[in-house]
Amino acid sequence: MENVLEQIAAYKEEIAALQPNGAASLEEYRIRFLGTKGIVKALFAEMKNVPADRKKEFGAILNDFKVFAEERYDSWKAALSGAEESGAASDTDLTLPGDPLPLGSRHPISLVRNEILSIFRRLGFSVSEGPEIEDDWHNFSALNLPENHPARDMQDTFYLNQNPDWLLRTHTSNVQIREMQKGKLPIRIVTPGRVYRNETISARAHCFFHQVEGLYIDEHVSFADLKQTLYFFVQELFGRDVKIRFRPSYFPFTEPSAEMDISCLLCNGKGCNVCKHTGWVEILGCGMVHPQVLENCGIDSNKYTGFAFGMGIERITMLKYQINDLRLFSENDVRFLQQFTSSL
């Protein structure tokens, strides 16, 4: 019996020194001490070998030990489940880096728009935006396109059923008109945005697309300022080797008007399918703001002059990334969209 008492004292010391550090070691403890084939059960089985006069004393010591072993188990278990709830001491290693979420990529139109805006920001232009649903005056009349003007036919328009004076803007020039009406000069803005035209959808045309237009109005603004600004712009966008040329054109809102070509990026001006063997590709339209447009917005055209330009972002994106079908931009096919990365 003395041996057994010594053994119980040793077990008590062992248990006092134990610190199970997870569910697995706690279960190991339970099986070893409290299980049906465990130490406590085995010690109770020793009872039959204890002399009758010491059974009471042995029983009390054994009971104490059993209660001690059970209490230890209960308190460890409680501590462990509390710790698991707060995330500690579980099998999860919280110091491991998390599983990365799959990152999307920017739409190529957004990438090129951001690149264009960043170039003009560096030249001192600020970005201005306005409504896509517009009234006839801000979209047409103020821009020298009075009712029944043949130039209105150039841009087939979506009108709203509720009110034939309302339409989906056909260009972002409505933003410039609204800015000019505020009467705060000088003005140096670029206006990115979505525009709408009633066109049959094909590889080369769509019923909506994106533009960036620009406007600079101050005293003494000249066509030379326009040329230098746009030259800087294309060199930044396409590289230092790009060449430019201006061709005379006609827009009702600018006079004189021009279209600007750049040397073909694919064949370096030698002639290919993209430039239709001319060596040049058109990228934007521009001109000096028509004095009548200035007056329409309350700006004194004797004192102020300005230049304006407009470009389709889809067209520039197609040239930059050699994309041959406009419809790819609005189909949201991830196999197409995943191919574009940029820091902007």
Which alpha helices (H) appear in 86-222, and where do they start and end? 108-122, 136-139, 173-181
Of 128, 229, 254, 263, which one interacts with ligand 2U9 (CB under 6 A)? 254
d(CA 41, CA 292): 105
Interaction of residue 285 with ligand 2U9, rule CB under 6 A? yes
Interaction of residue 253 with ligand 2U9, rule CB under 6 A? yes
In 10 A of CB 104, how many CB atoms?
Answer: 9
Nearer to ligand 2U9, 8 or 316 (CB): 316
- Token pair listed for 335: 């196999």
DSSP secondary structure string for all residues of 47-64: GGGS-GGGHHHHHHHHHH
From the list 292, 289, 255, 301, the residue with the least C-alpha distance to 142 is: 292
Candidates 102-110, 129-137, 157-165, 211-219: pick the segment binding ligand 2U9 (CB under 6 A).
211-219
Non-local (6+) Cβ contacts of 237 within 8 A are 115, 116, 119, 316, 320
Of 39, 43, 116, 211, which one interacts with ligand 2U9 (CB under 6 A)? 211
Judged on CB neighbours under 10 Å (0-12, 13-18, 19+), 36 is exposed
Residue 236 assigned as binding residue: no
Interaction of residue 213 with ligand 2U9, rule CB under 6 A? yes
Q: How many residues bind ligand 2U9 (CB under 6 A)?
A: 21
d(CA 305, CA 96): 63
Of 108, 192, 193, 310, which one interacts with ligand 2U9 (CB under 6 A)? 310
Interaction of residue 144 with ligand 2U9, rule CB under 6 A? no
Of 311, 316, 318, 319, which one interacts with ligand 2U9 (CB under 6 A)? 311
Q: Output the smallest distance, CB 265 to ligand 2U9, in A.
A: 18
User: Under the rule (CB under 6 A), what is the footprint of ligand 2U9?
Assistant: 171, 173, 176-177, 211, 213, 215, 251, 253-254, 284-287, 289, 293, 308-312
